Amino acid sequence: MDDQLILGQYLSFEGDPRALGLAAARHEASGGVLVRDGRIAAIGDGATLRGAHRDVTVVDHGDGLILPGFIDAHVHFPQTAMIASWGKRLIDWLNSYTFPEEARFGDPDYAAEIAGRYLDLVVSNGTTTVASYCTIHPTSVDAFFDAAQTRGMRALAGKTCMDRNAPDNLRDTAQSAYDDSRALLERWHGRGRLGYVITPRFSPTSTPEQLEALGVLWAEHPECLMQTHISEQLDEIAWVRELYPEARDYLDTYETHGLLGANGLYGHAIHLEPREVDRLVEVGAALIHCPTSNTFIGSGLFNMSLADKMRVGLATDTGGGSSFSMLRTMAAAYEVAQLRGEALHPAELIWRATGGSAEALHLGDKIGRLAVGMEADLCILNLASTPAISQRHTRATTIWEAVFPTIMMGDDRAITQTYIAGRPLKPE
């Protein structure tokens, strides 16, 4: 691929503005990002870069805002077609909508259709990396990774394992969960920009034997991530107590079976006990905040102050979440925090959807920031994409006032272009 210089204003971050303050952010009003072989080769003043690299292809986005591509750290791509299904709490919602839809993914053609549709939708919304749960069917994992590889995306996923409290056609066993997961891991992990994630859905749908088997697999492949759910709803926690009466708490059902570690991704984490927080901090695990899902299904309000102690990523939780857009997810994170008495700064919202999620996924050295050597996954925001946003944008006196209306009211119309390893990929 020829070198290209992408021009526009940009925001870059040296680290988490929650910890470092706004000094962590740099705004360049007339900036440029030089892309070479799918990576960022230089970043800085646009005119200076243009003068130093006269032979490159120039793509000028005017006053469009260049950001790292959004990183969605917890999704269920098989739930694409049933997103925004009405009116259920978590357990009823799984039985009424999720499980019937996931049963269709034994069909390779259907799995491929939904995988392609899902990735096209998220790319249209500026998302360049996702970490997805698949279904119990190995075909669903193959379909997802095939679609991601075709688009050149960095993507993470794993076969969702369940051997109880699910329909018969969605159950595997402790042994088949181990065998299928290991075979898929060996087939896909580290292939191009792909990574395999060991994926027990959550403790209620796995027997202790299955959790133990997946804990063994993780111990054999500690380089892999492990993703699961924890403490999403109070009735779910009560169910876990019934199923695991010997456990000290919800986290202990994972810890006892080798599923607690620094490479663990624990989705939702709304109703954690003090011991659970202490252990998660101690091992260096990451939490994934899914605000649109938590409000849509009525789960509760995530405590963002946990980000003072540990890595916290941001996610849509498609299709429990009600949007494919990380802009809408940032807006929901702001609203949830407000209900807990904290007004998240736009800098933290952007960081959480980019560098914060990258660090949660242990990919902070590859994606999530605009810096030399990073993979050139970018999105370009139009900060005046609708009349409502535009009229507010005209009154902005700082970059934060300029970007916040798009965070709160933006959608796929605000995404001018999405670059995957330097390639423009948003459909016209």
Are β-strands 194-200 and 225-230 bridged in parallel, bridged antiparallel, or unpaired?
Answer: parallel
Confidence of residue 428 (pLDDT cuts 50, 70, 90): low
Cα(418)–Cα(126) distance, integer angstroms: 5
* 415-420 β-sheet, strand order: 39-45, 25-36, 4-13, 57-68, 378-381, 415-420, 423-424
Per the CATH hierarchy, to which homologous superfamily does domain 70-360 belong? Metal-dependent hydrolases (3.20.20.140)
Please state the rounded mean pLDDT for residues 180-197.
98
List of residues 6+ apart from 242 with CB closer than 8 A = none
Residues 346-393: tens digit of each pLDDT: 999 999 999 999 999 999 999 999 999 999 999 999 999 999 999 999
CA pair distance 127, 414, nearest whole angstrom: 12
What are the φ/ψ torsions at residue 294 (nearest 5 degrees)?
-65, -35
132 CB-contact burial (10 Å; exposed 0-12 / middle 13-18 / buried 19+): buried
Domain ranges (residues) in the chain: 4-68+369-424, 70-360
Residue 94's pLDDT is what?
A: 82
Mean pLDDT of the chain: 96
Against a cut of 0.85, is the pTM above it? yes
Mean pLDDT over residues 389-400, rounded?
97
Instruction: Flag whether pLDDT at 66 surpasses 70.
Output: yes
pLDDT at 95: 82
Count other Cβ atoms within 10 Å, centred on residue 189: 18
Confidence of residue 1 (pLDDT cuts 50, 70, 90): low
CA 302 to CA 307: how far, in whole Å? 11
SS (H, E, C) the chain: CCCEEEEEEEEEECCCHHHHCHHHEEEEEEEEEEEECCEEEEEEEHHHHHHHCCCCEEEEEEEEEEEECEEEEEEEHHHHHHCCCCCCCHHHHHHHHHHHHHHHHHCHHHHHHHHHHHHHHHHHCCEEEEEEECCCCHHHHHHHHHHHHHHCCEEEEECEECCCCCCHHHCCCHHHHHHHHHHHHHHHCCCCCEEEEEEECCHHHCCHHHHHHHHHHHHHCCCCEEEEEECCCHHHHHHHHHHCCCCCCHHHHHHCCCCCCCCEEEEECCCCCHHHHHHHHHHCCEEEECHHHHHHCCCCCCCHHHHHCCEEEECCCCCCCCCCCHHHHHHHHHHHHHHCCCCCCHHHHHHHHHHHHHHHCCCCCCCCCCCCCCECCEEEECCCCCHHHHHHHCCCCCHHHHHHHHHHHCCHHHEEEEEECCEECCCC
- Residues 100-146 have pLDDT tens digits of 999 999 999 999 999 999 999 999 999 999 999 999 999 999 999 99
Segment among 92-101, 123-132, 234-243 with least mean pLDDT: 92-101
Q: Is the pLDDT of residue 84 over 90?
A: no
Least confident of 16-30, 81-95, 201-215, 311-325: 81-95
CATH homologous superfamily for the domain 4-68+369-424:
Urease, subunit C, domain 1 (2.30.40.10)
In tens, the pLDDT along 10-56 reads 999 999 999 999 999 999 999 999 999 999 999 999 999 999 999 99
Q: Is there a shared CATH topology between the 4-68+369-424 domain and the 70-360 domain?
A: no
Q: Band of the pLDDT at 333, cuts 50, 70, 90?
A: very high
Residue 280's pLDDT is 98
Q: What's residue 90's pLDDT? A: 73
pLDDT at 111: 97
25, amino acid identity = A
Give 255-281 pLDDT, tens digit per residue: 999 999 999 999 999 999 999 999 999
The pLDDT value recorded for residue 161 is 98
CA angle (366, 372, 377) in 5-degree steps: 50
